[in-house]
Amino acid sequence: MESTPDGDGENVGDATLMNASYSRLYGEVYRTHWWWRAREANVLHFVRRFLDAPSRRAKILDVGCGDGFIWKELEKFGVVEGVEPDPLLIAPDSPWRSRIEVADFLTGQPRGSDHDLILMLDVLEHIQHERKALERVVSLLGERGCFVMTVPALPALWSEFDVLTGHYRRYTKKTLRKALEGAGLRVLELRYCYTWTVLPLFLRKIFFKADGADDSHFVKAPPAPLSGLLTLFSKAEHLLTRKVAAPVGSSLLAIAVPAAAGRSDPAAVRASRPLSGSR
């Protein structure tokens, strides 16, 4: 699904931004909404599994990092920097502010081209020229670097909510793999997430119409007890689908490395090594 967003956000370079009012609310949504809580836990699981760098010494780039929402956890792996095109997402008193470059990813200037980990969490769908963005990722990854990303999935779920939030596309496994490989990346992991949300989102598409003139398309966290319950439910689904691949889902998670690197899953390599002192 390719589209040209005409919602109420603005464009910075090659990327679309959120509605300004929503940008100011986004930090609280991220901290309290079940979808973001479960996504963060799932992403960190795969970071621990695939990151191939000395403990606490990884060089990490978070693309579309907002206010460094996930950095408290990422700093356990190494030094983090970010690129964020929307200045409204960055709090004036943010402890991370000095390490966040306010710029479009294609024109920003991250420090160096040897990152051990690059994250792009629900960002690529906001960038018009995906090939240029993914090629930029390849140029910024080190030889043993790893790329972790999430994107919205299933073109069948495309609705005015996608348009109003600045999406250019939704992906399938096939289209995301093609985009990653076409840019010079090799896919190590590709899986659907949030299978249980497909039907509710499809029903929303049919029966609920958003209006860009108000906040009807803004995501809002439900009451804390319900959000907590849905977080646990989503985490349980993520745990299950690590063992049994889901046939569909409203989101896709991918792990990729430079095609020329020839590296494999570090966790599998570690598991295959003999224990210390064994023969």
11-269 CATH fold: Rossmann fold (3.40.50)
| Distant-in-sequence, close-in-space partners of 250: CB < 8 Å, separation ≥ 6 | 152, 153, 154, 157, 193, 194, 195, 197, 198, 201
Write down the pLDDT at residue 32. 93
Write down the pLDDT at residue 29. 87
CA distances from 54 to 139, 144, 162 (A): 21, 11, 39
Write down the pLDDT at residue 97. 92
Instruction: Report helix, strand and coil shares of the chain as percent, to nearest 5.
Output: 40, 20, 40
In terms of Cα–Cα distance, which of 57, 176, 194 is closest to 120? 176
| Distant-in-sequence, close-in-space partners of 35: CB < 8 Å, separation ≥ 6 | 194, 219, 230, 234
Write down the pLDDT at residue 279. 36
Structure tokens at 156: 């069948």
> Using only C-alpha atoms, what is the Rg of the chain?
18
Q: Output the pTM of the full model.
A: 0.88
Domain ranges of the chain: 11-269
DSSP 122-146: S-GGGBS-HHHHHHHHHHHEEEEEE
Could you read off the pLDDT tens digit of each residue along the chain, which spans 279 residues? 455 554 455 555 555 555 555 556 777 888 999 999 999 999 999 999 999 988 889 999 999 999 999 999 999 999 999 999 999 888 888 899 999 999 999 999 988 889 999 999 999 999 999 999 999 999 999 999 999 999 999 999 999 889 888 899 999 999 999 999 999 999 999 999 999 999 999 999 998 877 655 665 677 889 999 999 999 999 999 999 999 999 999 999 999 999 987 666 665 544 444 433 333
Residue in the block written with tokens 């076409």: 182
Structure tokens at 203: 């029903």
In terms of Cα–Cα distance, which of 233, 164, 192 is closest to 22? 164
